Amino acid sequence: MDTYSNPLVTRYASKEMLEMFAEKKRIGLFRRLWLALASAQKELGLNITEEQISELACNLDNINFDDALRQEKLVRHDVMAHIYAYSLQCPLAAPIIHLGATSCYVTDNADLIIYYNAFKIVAEKLLSVMANLSNFALKYKDLPTLGYTHLQPAQLVTVGKRATLWLQDFLLDYNNITDFSNNFKLRGIKGTTGTQASFLQLFEGDHKKVLQLQDKILKKMGFAQSFGVSGQTYTRKYDYNIISLLSMVAQSASKFANDIRILQNMKEIEEPFETSQIGSSAMAYKRNPMRCERISSLARYLISLPINCATTASTQWLERTLDDSANRRIVMGQAFLTVDAILELMLNVTSGLVVYPKIIAKHIEQELPFMATENILMQCVKAGGNRQKLHELIRVHSMAAGKRVKEEGKDNDLIERILADDTFKPIHSNLKDILSAKNYIGRSSEQVDEFVKEFIAPIIESLPLKTGGELKV
């Protein structure tokens, strides 16, 4: 504990995402890319033996990091240091490792493969969050609650209908990530400045073999597409696209978390609270929404990252400049670790939301009389009343009831005033029915059923899902 530890590593991100961005994973991909290169070159006629290929294949994961570290201190080049380390383990293959390639062949392609596989983790957790929210929405699709615009009471919705708003945001994120992943590209094998000149020389001017080389390598690495052209690196605009997708997930999570924090303040809905959890070191009674606050906090960081990638993309001089490298080592990995941490929290929160129907009903009772006045007016007119006279009386009673609530701190007594006024006598007997909250929720219940059935169920029904995230304090 004597040196700085990244909290994304020590506190927040999951083991599977940490392993995805571990150096062992990255260098293991370097070696697989070198093996794919040599195998493809052998298949296309270069003087590479089966023994050399076998030697490379047998040493993919027993990485000698200490040898690489010592060499890097001497040569100040990480890729060359790992070529050296791999060569120590593969003396027969040493002469043909990295043949014709530039460093970005392994660094860029390995990074992209990591991002692709990290997106799979993100998508899986997104689906699980969506499943949790779908179950919540269906469970509470009929429970009326105050809607809010401008954070002021508005027409009623249901608790489940509100949940579909969160759910739809995550669905958009999932679809965007899925579409992007389905069209994912590697850098491919393009050479030092992207011209493939070294490979054209290796194959003695045979352009067809150069194209075949790239196709073979892509196939061996499990991908179908590469960028049509590149400089030394793949365009860093692609990183901007990647981080923007992660930022969108953070935006959705932050919206959800902020809504829950507001509702928890109202005592209507709470995030899970452990039996022995402490809300405050001073105020023992407190139940702070710490998980949602952490989601908001982490999301704020991730939402800020696309501008960093935009700056990097816009300052890549000509065929490349190295000022992207140190920045990307930090930003790209930490962006995925952050979204993973957010989704772990989302899994935990959405699997244990606590709803308090009586508090929700109490809040409705305070506001519904005002919202019901139009229905009361219409029913009285149907019974033979004078619309203008009734309107004025309702206005007077409403102002008086509002004053009682705001200035005197008392309950809303608008309904009692209407019951005491004989002008409204025609509707006194069915006033209870007029004031039923379910008369004011529109198609909320039906919208929940329709949305889940049409948009969510087809995606999640056939997939294994996680129901609760690991909570790290």
Q: What is the CA radius of gyration of the chain?
A: 31
What pLDDT score was predicted for residue 467?
52
DSSP 269: E
Q: Which of 91, 82, 95, 113 is nearest to 38 (CA)?
A: 95
Query: Could you give phi then psi for residue 60, rounded to 5 degrees?
Result: -75, -35
**Which residues fall within 8 angstroms of residue 82, CB to CB, at 6 or more apart?**
27, 30, 68
For residue 167, the surrounding DSSP H or E stretch is helix 159-182
Neighbours of 99 (CB within 10 A): 15
CATH architecture, domain 7-271+286-357: Up-down Bundle (1.20)
- Region of 77 on the Ramachandran plot (φ > 0 left; ψ -120 to 50 alpha; else beta): beta
The answer to whether the CB of 438 falls within 8 A of the CB of 134 is no
Cα gap 180→120, rounded to integer Å:
11
What pLDDT score was predicted for residue 470?
43
CA 189 to chain centre: 31
What pLDDT score was predicted for residue 274?
66
The answer to whether the CB of 171 falls within 8 A of the CB of 188 is no
Is-same-fold flag (7-271+286-357; 373-434)? no
The answer to whether the CB of 140 falls within 8 A of the CB of 355 is yes
What pLDDT score was predicted for residue 285?
47
pTM here is: 0.89
Q: Which residues are known catalytic residues?
A: 150, 280
Neighbours of 470 (CB within 10 A): 13
Give 96's Cβ-side CA count (13 Å radius).
Answer: 22
The answer to whether the CB of 187 falls within 8 A of the CB of 235 is no
What pLDDT score was predicted for residue 284?
43
Q: For residue 365, what are the CA distances in angstroms to 41, 259, 354?
A: 76, 21, 21
What pLDDT score was predicted for residue 160?
98
Q: Which residue ranges make up each domain of the chain?
A: 7-271+286-357, 373-434
What pLDDT score was predicted for residue 1?
66
Question: DSSP states of 17-63 as a string?
Answer: HHHHTSHHHHHHHHHHHHHHHHHHHHHTT-S--HHHHHHHHTTSS--
What pLDDT score was predicted for residue 416?
85
Q: Which of 447, 440, 462 is nearest to 168 (CA)?
A: 447
Structure tokens at 396: 């007077």
**Which residues fall within 8 angstroms of residue 416, CB to CB, at 6 or more apart?**
none
Q: What is the mean pLDDT of each run of 10 residues along the chain (473 residues)?
A: 87 95 96 98 96 97 96 94 97 96 95 97 95 95 96 93 98 97 95 93 95 96 94 94 98 98 96 63 62 97 96 92 91 97 97 96 88 80 84 86 86 83 81 84 96 92 58 36
Q: What's the topology of domain 373-434?
A: Ribonucleotide Reductase Protein R1; domain 1 (1.10.40)
Q: For residue 158, what are the CA distances in angstroms to 155, 165, 295?
A: 10, 11, 24
